Structure 1
Amino acid sequence: MSEQEDRPDVAVVTGAASGLGAATADALGTAGWRVAGFDLRPAPATALGVEVDVTDAAALAAAVDRVERELGPVGALVTAAGVYEILPVEEIDDARWHRMMAVNLSGTALTCAAVVPRMVARGRGAVVTVSSDLGVGGSQGDAHYAASKGAIVGLTRALATELAGTGVTVNTVAPGAADTAMLEDASPWRSPEFLATLPVQRLVRPEEIAAAALFLIGAGTAVSGQVLSPNAGATI
């Protein structure tokens, strides 16, 4: 039996109610996974929607308990929950900084902490975090966001190193600007001037980022600690 055929078929996706999380949950469901969607809002297009705050460690542990009780062992995790805003650095106050870090970075770390030990105990599993092209290259007006997403890259590589040999892989998808509701109509990333700089002349589609996540989930234990950037050619 191959590694792919022997996989558990339950996946957890955070931020599953909209955007990239919803696209990833849909792609996993189409591929045959039973998907549990974690979000502050209902995620109806999943086998099990759980309303949970990813910054709450106790609530996450209870949510994972529920998933494994109702659906079975978790074999894949995609941490797509996140927040975004553009602000010049002098306008980033303590509250905005801590919210960005709490949701994007701590939310990722806490979700991994709730799921990964179970995967390690079973000797198999795939984690895909969601960072950002901005966390790799930076950008004007995104200091707190870029810092949170860059830290996710570091977290991913550290976990991949720590878990090497356990049967659990940890990789990250670092998308470029994506065509989701997170980008307002007036966002500079939607401007004709920016789009003209991209080889494909358009934003990345959520389903393309979801496809990258599914690739990493199915890539096997030889692929871990990697950064895959579906970014419409913004960084080559």
Structure 2
Amino acid sequence: MSEARVALVTGGASGIGAAVVTALSGRGFTVGCLDLNADGAENTIAVDVSDAEAVAEGVARLRAQLGPISAVVTCAGYYEMAPIAEISADAWRRMLRVHLGGLVNVARATLPDLIESRGSLVAVASELAVGGGEYDAHYAAAKGAIIGAVRSLAAEVADRGVRINCVAPGPTDTPLLAPDSPWRADDYLQTLPLRRLTLPPEVARCVEYLTCDATFSVGDVVNVNSGAVI
């Protein structure tokens, strides 16, 4: 990576994304964000990552403001639970557009920079992509598709010096989990070896590691889940 390093984080306004912004800033990156909730935050552009044209425009604006991008982290997403019989066709499509489509749109817009800088992209998936979950079919499917895309894209661009990897967090203590979420219930937490939710800074440390230190990692999935999947 170049000396003047610029990172792009989607979903950087809150939760895991905000923790990633803090971690990468601490490693010397200037961080720009694409997020639905920009709210005037510095170097943050309001973008729906499922909109390929809007992503391309947002990436171009950040590149013009901050410089060429040498690291990308795709955190933008949302979570909902529903029995499969109650998941509408629109809900299936939206889940895939935001999670898988968001990754693909950002990768397409940033790969020229990453190839030039021999940089890194880290996608945020979920332990549900690995282990599945009751009432999580569309979310788990979308996150599983991210893992498949990451491994395929990693093979496609590794010979050009670009590292593509993935982190798969377990239930994490962010606003995406409502106070009454079953993932916060004590009877669930007691099934975890660590007996607690994953914390956003823990996920961010893994993202930081893959971005800055793991120069040998290509197409890897790092599970950060308090032992939910061992």
Q: What TM bracket, shorter-length normalisation? A: over 0.9
Q: Aligned residue for 2:83?
A: 88
The 5-angstrom pairing of residues 144-163 of structure 1 reads: 144-163=138-157
Q: Percent identity?
A: 45
Deviation digits for residues 24-68 of structure 1 (CA, Å, limit 9, x no counterpart): 11111122110001101116665x111111111111111111111
TM superposition shift of 1:8: 4.9
The 1-side partners of 2:178 and 2:32 are apart by 28
Q: Which amino acid aligns with 1:110?
A: N
Q: Does 1:164 align with 2:161?
A: no
Deviation digits for residues 86-133 of structure 1 (CA, Å, limit 9, x no counterpart): 10110001111111111111011111111012222x151100001100
TM superposition shift of 1:164: 1.6
Q: Does 1:188 align with 2:190?
A: no
Pick from 215, 226, 230: which aligns with 2:224?
Answer: 230
Q: Is the 8 A contact 1:36 1:67 kept in 2?
A: yes
Pick from 11, 29, 33: which aligns with 1:33?
Answer: 29
> What is the RMSD of the two structures over their aligned residues, measured on CA atoms?
1.4
Pick from 98, 114, 118: which aligns with 1:119?
Answer: 114
Q: Aligned residue for 1:78?
A: 73
Q: Is the 8 A contact 1:8 1:74 kept in 2?
A: no
- Size of the alignment, in residue pairs? 230
Q: Does 1:142 align with 2:127?
A: no
TM superposition shift of 1:83: 1.1
Q: Is the 8 A contact 2:32 2:44 kept in 1?
A: yes
CA change 1:154–1:72 in 2 (3 A) is same
Provide the secondary structure at the position in 2 that maps to 1:17: coil
Q: Aligned residue for 2:203?
A: 209
TM superposition shift of 1:228: 0.2
The 2-side partners of 1:183 and 1:15 are apart by 16
Q: Which amino acid aligns with 1:31?
A: R
Task: Structure 2: give runs of 5+ residues left out of the alignment.
Answer: none
Q: Which amino acid aligns with 2:157?
A: L
TM superposition shift of 1:7: 5.3
Provide the secondary structure at the position in 1 that maps to 2:135: coil
The two structures have a TM-score, normalised by structure 1, of 0.93
Q: Is the 8 A contact 1:76 1:217 kept in 2?
A: yes
Pick from 53, 57, 69: which aligns with 1:62?
Answer: 57
The 1-side partners of 2:93 and 2:163 are apart by 29
Pick from 20, 23, 42: which aligns with 1:24?
Answer: 20
Runs of 4+ displaced beyond 6 Å: none
Task: Structure 1: give runs of 5+ residues left out of the alignment.
Answer: none
The two structures have a TM-score, normalised by structure 2, of 0.96
Q: Which amino acid aligns with 2:220?
A: Q
